[in-house]
Amino acid sequence: MMDNKEWRNKKIEELLFKAVHSDVTAEISEADVIQAKKIVKQNARSSHEFFVIFASLNLLNAAIKRPQYKKKLHYSEIKGNVSRLLQHLITLDFNEYNVAFYINPSEKCAYLEIYTIQFSFHNILMSEAIEAFMHSDLNKVRAWKEIRLQKIAGELFELSMLNQLMITHSPISDITQPKNQAF
């Protein structure tokens, strides 16, 4: 029987393969968007919580491009939470959380890697702390892996939530949201 890490890595491999080789864009449910909006306001305390927050930001970033969410989400909300999370990461030894984090100065794009998944967030909001990190020796810029995660955003979010549940036996920070609650 597979342990959680083996199971998670296998599921990630399957989703990344799908992201590269499939033209199908996964569904994003309104319930997931509602839950992701709450999650992105949290600060992570573990690798699996970082995974949930990164997947939540990715989900919102994908959802805002879809007609049914254009009026329910705002880029400022997403970008603000990306910047808040980056500032949180800057204060941590992010390697302790198995997170690689760097900013490409020419693109103003933040890359967050966890469990072999590379999340990217363009046009981030710059603060003094983020700007200082971007020009520091800690910022080790790597190439983009060229895997577009937005078309698997719903599935990646669900995987992150299931991974969290399997590890802790509870939802992230005990956030629960009724499936039918409106924005």
**Which pairs count as long-range contacts for 111-114, CB under 8 Å and 24+ apart, including other chains?**
111/142, 111/144, 112/50, 112/54, 113/142, 114/47, 114/50, 114/51, 114/54
Residue spans per domain, the chain: 4-172
Taking the C-alpha atoms of residue 153 and residue 61, their distance in angstroms, rounded to an integer, is 9
Reported pTM: 0.89
Is the pLDDT reported for residue 166 higher than 80?
Answer: yes
Taking the C-alpha atoms of residue 12 and residue 157, their distance in angstroms, rounded to an integer, is 11
pLDDT in tens, 7-33: 999 999 999 999 999 988 889 999 999
pLDDT in tens, 135-153: 999 999 998 899 999 999 9
pLDDT in tens, 76-90: 889 999 999 999 999
* CA–centroid distance for 161 within its chain: 11
Is the pLDDT reported for residue 107 higher than 90?
Answer: no
- How much is the pLDDT for 171? 61
Cβ(103)–Cβ(121) below 8 Å: no
Helices (H), 43-150: 47-63, 75-90, 128-134
